[in-house]
Amino acid sequence: MLNNIPAEIKEWRYKQIDYINWLNEFGNVLGCKVNNNKLSFSPFAGQGISSAFYFETGFTAVVNNYQLNKDYLFTRQPTDEFGVLIYLYNFETETQVDYILDNVALNYASGSHYQLRIINSQTSHQLRFDKTTAVRGISIFLENGWIQKNLSHKVLDVFSFLQQVNYFKQFINAKQQRLMDEILNVSPSHPYPDVFIRSRILRIADKLFENLLQHDISESPEKINEDDFDTLQKIEAILTNSYDEAFPGIEKLSRISLMSESKLKKLFKQSFGMGLYEYFQKNRLHRAKEQILSGKYTISEVGTKLGYQNLSNFSTAFRKEFNCLPSEI
């Protein structure tokens, strides 16, 4: 645990409760009001917004998109009963973020960091960051009663294992990033923002449950240390963000990652289920599909943007991925 906290750092100690009540407590700590489950930060507290969502008894979530005016330490104390916390976050910081989970330090250096953790709520958790840190992400709390009522025995087996190991370290893939970005960047003029956000949170939960069922968590291959884990997440971000450019190449990615080519290829495939180029190409085609469906671009424009000089090659790759031609969607 973090000790010798300087006086200028504010600490909030709390025990996890549903996120509707959690948001009200957070508002009281900051001296800000909560209206209709939305916390707008006053100028003396910071800037941004936090919104809580109630789905049903035992299933709540909060969307955080803020930057505080003071350095803060959040100390979450263990719950009395088992529950599952899902954290999907991006931290943008100019200094180090201290992150301690179940007495294990998972600190992040300055820069941009994505993290996805599935956590036993009966563990302790501390997060310390300064006022330069932008906190953007989604937290979901599933209480034990909801878990027992709604999830199958296979998922319950996974969560039983979670009670033994206390947390799962997961990679954020391109689809999860897009869902998170859609939630955090929803337009103020959106005709039904709450429904839109709720649907994306449910999709995130659905895909996470699906992923837990597809992989035997208890028999994960070789353990990946935190430095390599963080590096692989950055490599994934490069492949995701360069969808309209040529594939960066194994040699370049190896230099960026400070790994040998063989180690990078091995760890990436182990972590994301496919090779670097296959992941890059798959993401490009899914972006292409989104652009076609948006109606803002013609099929020819999308294919050209992705670097296809021959549109028949684009159509062939598209059909292989989606089992239909671009014109048929």
The secondary structure of the chain, three-state, reads: CCCCCCCCCEEEEEECCCHHHHHHHHHHHHCCCEECCEEECCCCCEEEEEEEEEEECCEEEEEEEEEECCCEEEEEECCCCCEEEEEEEEEEECCCEEEEECCEECCECCEEEEEEEEEECCCCEEEEECCCCEEEEEEEEEEHHHHHHHCCHHHHHHHHHHHHHCEEEECCCHHHHHHHHHHHCCCCCCCCHHHHHHHHHHHHHHHHHHHHHHCCHHHCCCCCCHHHHHHHHHHHHHHHHCCCCCCCCHHHHHHHHCCCHHHHHHHHHHHHCCCHHHHHHHHHHHHHHHHHHHCCCCHHHHHHHCCCCCHHHHHHHHHHHHCCCHHHC
Q: 186, 219, 252 — which closes off a domain?
A: 219
Cα dihedral 266, 177, 201, 194, rounded to 10, equals 180
Residues 289 and 194 reside in one and the same domain: no
Q: Is residue 1 part of a domain?
A: no
Q: Is residue 5 part of a domain?
A: no
Q: Is residue 4 part of a domain?
A: no
Q: Is residue 204 part of a domain?
A: yes
Q: 163, 191, 219 — which closes off a domain?
A: 219
Q: Is residue 65 part of a domain?
A: yes
pTM of the model: 0.81
Residues 119 and 84: beta-carbon distance below 8 Å: yes
Around Cβ 199, how many Cβ atoms within 10 Å? 13
Residue 174 to residue 186: CA distance in whole angstroms: 18
Residues 64 and 169 reside in one and the same domain: yes
R_g over Cα of the chain: 21
Q: Which domain, by its residues, includes 275? A: 226-328
**The predicted structure's pLDDT at residue 49:** 94
Residues 88 and 181 reside in one and the same domain: yes
If one compares 59 and 100, the residue with the highest pLDDT of the two is 59
Q: Is residue 203 part of a domain?
A: yes
**The predicted structure's pLDDT at residue 249:** 92
Residues 168 and 54 reside in one and the same domain: yes
Residues 208 and 121 reside in one and the same domain: yes
Q: Is residue 309 part of a domain?
A: yes
Residues 101 and 40 reside in one and the same domain: yes
Residues 199 and 230 reside in one and the same domain: no
Residues 173 and 270 reside in one and the same domain: no
Residues 215 and 106 reside in one and the same domain: yes
Overall number of domains in the chain = 2
Residues 35 and 158 reside in one and the same domain: yes
Residue 217 to residue 148: CA distance in whole angstroms: 20
What CATH number should be reported for the domain holding residue 260? 1.10.10.60
Per-residue pLDDT of 11-43, as tens digits, reads 999 999 999 999 999 999 999 999 999 999 999
Q: How far is CA 124 from CA 56, 91, 115, 195, in A?
A: 25, 20, 18, 33
Q: 195, 219, 243 — which closes off a domain?
A: 219
Q: What is the mean pLDDT of the chain?
A: 88
Mean pLDDT of 257-264: 93
**The predicted structure's pLDDT at residue 222:** 42
Residues 194 and 248 reside in one and the same domain: no
**Using a CB cutoff of 8 Å and minimum separation of 24, what contacts does 29-37 make?**
30/68
Q: Is residue 245 part of a domain?
A: yes
Rounded to the nearest angstrom, the gap between the alpha carbon of residue 9 and the centroid of all alpha carbons in its chain is: 26
Residues 309 and 199 reside in one and the same domain: no
**The predicted structure's pLDDT at residue 215:** 64
Per-residue pLDDT of 231-248, as tens digits, reads 888 898 888 877 677 888
